[in-house]
Structure 1
Amino acid sequence: MDESQESELRNPFPSPPSHYVKYTSHNLKLLETLKERVKDTADIASVDQHDVLSDLTDIPPWPLVQLEKPRVDWILDEGRYSVFGETWFVKETIPSLAELGGHQLYPPDPSVDRRPALLSIIRSLLVTYSNLIGAIVAPPPPPFSQVPPEWHRHVEWITVLAQNLMAAANDLRPVQARGNLEHMMQRQLDIRQEETRAIHATCDELESRLQTLRTAALEMVPKQNTGTLQETSVRMSRCIISLDFIRLGQVSGEATTTEEVLRWAEEVT
């Protein structure tokens, strides 16, 4: 692959591959005919397609096997595939620092406690940083000295330590995201449970008040005459309707004034 083709593959909007023009209806029919005449598909790449298809016309000079679809079983076996010059894994995994070619200082097994290794890395980072400051203020080497300065070694080691800290933090990102999601869902559940308990408490309080009003109204009935009994019944109905209206307003979350409730009760009764 020359430089122009490689730059085209890495283009954010690459052009289609140049061999897309080979997928014509005629060439695809030739491939189907070749498969029918060559029963063993394993030998289709080794046969001479011009001899097998000698009775047909317009046989391309390149192998018709190139028009075959990619073998999915090969991709699954290898675990990766290439698209536009980039290699992609079938199963998305976070490669470790050692797999990326770095010097890994913490255990690769995620089930092993990494805290002791990370604490050692942090201590080594602080010590190396202190040594780097001492190497910087040290006198410079002679002009023709072939020995690299000491601070070069400290900078390289600090780079390795920083890479380990960043890689270990990236390995914990899925665990952190899962923990944050669980905490958020638990918080939403707690809020809904609190709101439900508040609604039930309000309903119980309203039921108790309604029962008290009903009892008081029934106690007043024997002491009144017929006209007063009818008036008491009307008043009790207004009270019950008003309290029911207040209850519905509190449960639904809508604010209702006393004047509105009384006016509405007057219209109903």
Structure 2
Amino acid sequence: MDDPQQPAVNAAFAPPPPLWKHFTRENRNKLEEIKKKATEGTNGESARDKKWSPAELRALDVPAELRCLVPPEIPTGEYSVFGELQTRSTILPSLKEQGIEQLYPEPAATQDKDASQSASNLNHAYYLLKISKSLLLNFLEFVGALSVSPEQFESKVNDLRNLFINAHHLLNLYRPHQARESLIMMMEEQLQRSKEEIEQMDKVKAEIETALEQIQAQAGKIGSADTPAEKDSSANRDTQQGLQDVRQVWDILDKEI
């Protein structure tokens, strides 16, 4: 029999908040009407031309079902995402601030540098290697402790957990550098694609100019060789040749573009 006290399995991602149901065409039209009424008689400015700020929208007297359409205030401190508290600060909190033992020394901070810049004074690779070796050693000790006295596993599990947290924190210190290098790589790739496109366009331009010069040279030869009596008889031939030249130009464009 199934255990009635067994807790239900939670979803990996929380369902969307029910406020999305308020974003309907009808509610949006109601909000536009309220904005239009609030704009009437203010310097002759129409509701469509007025640029509403989030603070001005929040100051409007709107019904409860339209409150979801008004942008909320930007959080200033902590806020909750999927039940976890997040902060707007971009500074990575230290392990000591989180109450976790730090296994590597603090980087030498200076007065004219922030935390991310002073962290560059620390040899991350050296301490990551030391932590990796400590993880292997502690895992072997953990396996040995399980074979001798399994009840003493808790201390070794805490040691392994602390080592993993320190390694993860050291890797997070590389995030600003990673973001900067990723941006540089994206800009270099974009610049390289632009250069290749310009080279390709120059190549197509040269081929089209060559084809046009050939067409002009052939037209000049035909015009100088024909007499007035022969011009009428060669009209169809010139038309066919012109069509072939146009097809040649379009074939070059279809092949290159």
TM-score by length of 2: 0.51
Tell me how far apart the structure 1 counterparts of residues 78 and 243 of structure 2 sit (CA, whole Å). Answer: 76
Is residue 138 of structure 2 the alignment partner of residue 128 of structure 1?
A: yes
Q: Report the AA paired with residue 111 of structure 1.
A: S
The structure 1 segments of at least 4 consecutive aligned residues displaced by more than 6 Å after TM superposition are: 81-84, 87-90
Amino acid at match of 2:92: I
Counterparts of residues 1-269 of structure 1 (less than 5 Å) = 92-109=90-107, 110-112=119-121, 113-139=123-149, 150-229=152-231, 231=234, 234-235=238-239, 238=242, 242=246, 246=250, 250=254, 253=257
Structure 1 position 117, deviation (Å): 0.6
Q: 5+ residue gaps in structure 1?
A: 1-80, 141-148, 254-269
Whole-angstrom distance in 2 between the partners of 1:229 and 1:100? 94
Question: How much has 1:115 moved relative to structure 2?
Answer: 0.1
Contact preservation (8 Å) 1:210, 1:240: no
SS of residue paired to 1:105: coil
Which one-letter code corresponds to 1:103 in the other structure? Answer: E
Q: Distance in 1 between matches of 2:133 and 2:242?
A: 78
RMSD: 3.9
The residue type equivalent to 1:170 in the other structure is N
Please give the TM-score of this superposition, normalised by the length of structure 1. 0.49
CA–CA distance in structure 2, aligned partners of residues 238 and 89 of structure 1: 70
User: How far apart are residue 229 of structure 1 and its match?
Assistant: 4.6
Larger displacement relative to structure 2 (237-246 or 201-210) = 237-246
Superposed displacement of residue 96, structure 1: 1.7
Separation of aligned partners in 2, 1:168 and 1:91: 18
Alpha-carbon distance in structure 1 between the residues aligned to 2:144 and 2:78: 50
CA shift, 1:160, in A, is 1.2
Alpha-carbon distance in 1 for matches of 2:144, 2:87: 46
Deviation, 1:221, is 3.4
Q: 1:88 to 1:131 in 2, by over 3 A?
A: closer
Q: What does the per-residue CA deviation read over 1:152-176, in whole Å, with 9 as the maximum and x for residues that have no partner?
A: 3322211110110111122222322
Question: Does the 8 Å contact 1:132/1:155 carry over to 2?
Answer: yes
Check 1:227–1:164 CA distance in 2 against 1; reply closer, same or farther (3 A cut).
farther
CA, structure 1 residues 106+195, in 2 after alignment: closer, same or farther (shift >3 Å)?
Answer: same
Aligned partner of residue 190 in structure 1, secondary structure: helix
What 5-or-longer segments of structure 2 have no aligned partner? 1-75, 80-84, 108-118
Larger Rg: 1
